[in-house]
Amino acid sequence: MSSYAKGNIFAGDITAGEDPVVRRAAIEALGAMNGTAVVIDPADGRILAMVNQRLALSPGAEPCSTIKLSVALAALSEGIVTRDTMVRLRGFHMNLTEALAHSNNLYFEKLGRELGFERVQRYAREFGLGELAGYHIEGEHVGEYPRQAIPAAQGGVGRMCSFGQGVSLTPLQLGALISAIANGGTLYYLQHPTTAEEAANFAPVIKRKLDIAKFIPDVEDGMAGAVEYGTARSMRIKFREFPLFGKTGTCSKAGTRFGWFGAFADTPRGKLVTVFLLEGGRPTYGPYAAQLTGDFYRHLWEDNYFSPREMRENQTAPAGAETRMSAE
């Protein structure tokens, strides 16, 4: 599969209920890449923009190392590790912060084996994997979370917990989980307004409360480390104006490479969640999805999206904005 889009991959998107500034920034960040970007307000579950909705609502893809977020929360909840526990691996020791920041597979394979499949699966489903993330979003697929561990010959539960082998994750499912991390533990149904009226009358719908609040700072440290010095440090080449927390993922299946980056930012307008998923060949990988996320925030910054409201309202829309949006 080519890493570059063929034709207008945004042509079928329904955009009337989206934030046009956020949508434009996501499209500009994706550029010519074959992928999707979903932007969510974690305070209420509203999807502000969903670019390339065909891919965003598809059955998903192998989650690669983004699965490590759910495994980390499961291991913390079960008391298997704390943030500072030094886990002995092959010739070295590592704690949770470093393992998330550098996306260490050996660390999460060991956590997976200690948790066992039953607990891994229970927490994954509690966190929304294997179920629809959206609330009456037409065309959304559910992805897949297996009912039993993959065979030992394929790596068993350890491989499932290091890069999600056997799992199919959707961008909306990852976005909902990261939103719960960002907001303190509320798993919202994601909603995508399709008209201006729906956007004006938006009301959040809670799916369930997750008992993860006391573990969120432990996971945030690793997500911050990924951006500052780990696998997502390419993001900081593009944007450094406020704190960002994220997790990359890179893997391949049946000849197609996947590049994930799920993240949230603590912005002057509140927290904002983004999920970038790229599909293709060799140019497709998680750190590049992180770099595109940095581009996204740079575009919003240059559009003064984070400025006081009165300043934004007094500004003229960028030239050509209406033409670009109507062509989608």
pLDDT, tens digit (0-9, with 9 covering 90-100), for 227-268: 999 999 999 999 999 999 999 999 999 999 999 999 999 999
* Whole-number Cα distances in Å, 43 to 85, 127, 174, 189: 31, 17, 16, 11
pLDDT at 317 over 50: no
pLDDT at 67 over 90: yes
* Residue in the block written with tokens 């603590």: 266
Q: Mind giving me the DSSP string for 109-151?
A: HHHHHHH-HHHHHHHHHHTTTTS--BSS-TT----B--SSPPP
* Whole-number Cα distances in Å, 237 to 56, 145, 246, 295, 297: 26, 35, 15, 9, 12
9 belongs to a structural domain: no
pLDDT at 323 over 70: no
> How far from each other are the two terminal CA atoms of the chain, in whole angstroms?
23
pLDDT at 53 over 90: yes
pLDDT at 318: 42
8 belongs to a structural domain: no
* Whole-number Cα distances in Å, 31 to 5, 276, 293: 9, 12, 12
13 belongs to a structural domain: no
Containing structural domain, residue 190: 20-326
pLDDT, tens digit (0-9, with 9 covering 90-100), for 134-174: 999 999 999 999 999 999 999 999 999 999 999 999 999 99
* Confidence band for 313, pLDDT divided at 50, 70 and 90: low
We report the CATH number of the domain holding residue 244 as 3.40.710.10
pLDDT at 310: 45
pLDDT, tens digit (0-9, with 9 covering 90-100), for 99-137: 999 999 999 999 999 999 999 999 999 999 999 999 999
36 belongs to a structural domain: yes
Percentage of the chain exceeding pLDDT 70: 94
Mean pLDDT of the chain: 93
169 belongs to a structural domain: yes
242 belongs to a structural domain: yes
* Whole-number Cα distances in Å, 322 to 67, 135, 310: 38, 29, 21
pLDDT at 1: 77
Number of domains within the chain: 1
Interval 6-28 mean pLDDT: 96
Which residues does 176 contact at the CB level (< 8 Å), separation at least 6? Answer: 40, 45, 128, 133, 187, 188, 189, 190, 207
pLDDT at 324: 33
pLDDT at 186: 98
The Cα 104–Cα 248 span in angstroms is 11
15 belongs to a structural domain: no
The Cα 135–Cα 299 span in angstroms is 29
